[in-house]
Amino acid sequence: RELSCKEQLQSISMEWMSQICQYVVRDLEKYGICVVDNFMGKERAEAIHRSVVSMYDSGVFVEGETVSSSLETTKKVRSDKITWVDGSESNCTNIAVLISTIDTIIMNAIRMKGNGQLGQRTIGGRTKAMIACYPGSGSHYVKHVDNPNRDGRCITTTYYANKDWDAKTVGGLLRIFPQGWANQVVDIEPILDRMVFFWSDRRNPHEVQPAFRTRYAITVWYFDAKEREEARIRHRECALKKNKANE
Ligand SMILES: O=C(O)CCC(=O)Nc1cc2ccccc2cn1
Ligand SMILES: [Mn+2]
């Protein structure tokens, strides 16, 4: 019988967990970026790869929105296809284990800090998991900031599910331009079972370079409780203003 999500989680040793949390806390606070390899282990990583491939083949992915740079030309700023899952969907048990593992790491990283904060942030909630597929043939994502205007998202966590990826031949690098590092860039190959954590705000502009092979990534964003609440209030106020204007 397939182990339940809970049983699978328990099998992940607590020792490993606390090791990873230390890296995440240290690297996020020091560099704003943390890369962890062999995050789920080879067997589970390959199962996640199979799950996202079969989901993609089943046609549930939709176009990532294209932001028109001006009226006449709707320049394609991104060409990924996405689908959102919470892990309860069919064929998503492994993704549910991935999401729970990231949750545990983030929550324990905060507990480790003692003051209940990670980088002066109090984490309060997260998005569902966004599975993105770059269908190859040069698909990319132009340089952007995930959260430029305080929408509440504070940590971006992206997991890569690409077998035998070789960026020298098929591109697809995640390139981060960390603010305050002069003109240094951080190039991250989207290899199988690699997990990346980085601050979602203007500290980490990043791009996905053109990929010439199908490229899968699973992203979960964690909210800063205070910033999220403030964003909700601003959102409600501007909705009220709009209603008043329409009356
Ligand atoms: O796949 C990677 O290496 C990262 C790709 C990436 O930056 N994806 C992404 C996807 C997004 C989708 C909606 C809104 C904001 C978004 C910001 N970033
Ligand atoms: Mn992004």
Higher-pLDDT residue of 138 and 168 is 168
Q: What is the C-alpha to C-alpha distance for residues 140 and 138, in angstroms, rounded to an integer?
A: 6
Check if the beta carbon of residue 3 is closer than 8 Å to that of residue 100: no
Q: Is the pLDDT of residue 69 over 60?
A: no
Residue 181 CA to ligand 2 center (angstroms) comes to 19
Residue whose CA is at the smallest distance from ligand 1 atom 18: 146
DSSP state of 128: -
206 in contact with ligand 1, CB cutoff 6 A: yes
Q: Is the pLDDT of residue 147 over 60?
A: yes
Residue whose CA is at the smallest distance from ligand 1 atom 15: 146
**Which ligand has the minimum distance to the alpha carbon of residue 131?**
1
End-to-end CA distance of the chain: 59
Collapsing DSSP to helix, strand or coil, 207 comes out as: strand
Asked which of 108-117, 202-211, 223-232, 237-246 is least confident by mean pLDDT, the reply is 108-117
Closest CA to 82 of 59, 63, 58: 63
Q: Which helix (H) or strand (E) holds 10?
A: helix 5-11
What confidence score (pLDDT) does residue 20 get?
92
Residue whose CA is at the smallest distance from ligand 1 atom 12: 64
148 token code pair? 């430029």
Residue whose CA is at the smallest distance from ligand 1 atom 14: 146
Q: What is the C-alpha to C-alpha distance for residues 237 and 69, in angstroms, rounded to an integer?
A: 28
Q: Which helix (H) or strand (E) holds 199?
A: strand 194-199
Residue 240 CA to ligand 2 center (angstroms) comes to 30
What confidence score (pLDDT) does residue 179 get?
92
DSSP state of 31: T
What confidence score (pLDDT) does residue 49 get?
97
Residue 219 CA to ligand 2 center (angstroms) comes to 9
Q: Is the pLDDT of residue 95 over 80?
A: yes
Higher-pLDDT residue of 10 and 106 is 106
Interface predicted TM-score (ipTM): 0.98
Ramachandran quadrant class, 98 (left: phi over 0; alpha: psi -120 to 50; beta: rest): alpha
What confidence score (pLDDT) does residue 67 get?
54
Of the pLDDT bands very low, low, confident and very high (cuts 50, 70, 90), residue 72 is very low
Residue 180 CA to ligand 1 center (angstroms) comes to 22
Helices (H), 38-183: 42-57, 93-113, 167-170
Mean pLDDT within 156-177: 97
Q: Report the predicted TM-score, pTM, of the whole model to 2 decimal places.
A: 0.90
21 in contact with ligand 1, CB cutoff 6 A: no
Closest CA to 28 of 174, 177, 203: 203
Check if the beta carbon of residue 125 is closer than 8 Å to that of residue 99: no
Residue type, 221: W
Check if the beta carbon of residue 132 is closer than 8 Å to that of residue 64: yes
Residue 9 CA to ligand 2 center (angstroms) comes to 28
Beta bridge mates, 216: 133
Work out the percent of the chain whose per-residue pLDDT is above 70: 93
In tens, the pLDDT along 189-211 reads 999 999 999 999 999 999 999 99
Q: Is the pLDDT of residue 73 over 50?
A: no
How many C-beta atoms surround the C-beta of residue 26 within 10 A? 13
208 in contact with ligand 1, CB cutoff 6 A: yes
Residue 156 CA to ligand 2 center (angstroms) comes to 8
Of the pLDDT bands very low, low, confident and very high (cuts 50, 70, 90), residue 75 is very low
162 in contact with ligand 1, CB cutoff 6 A: no
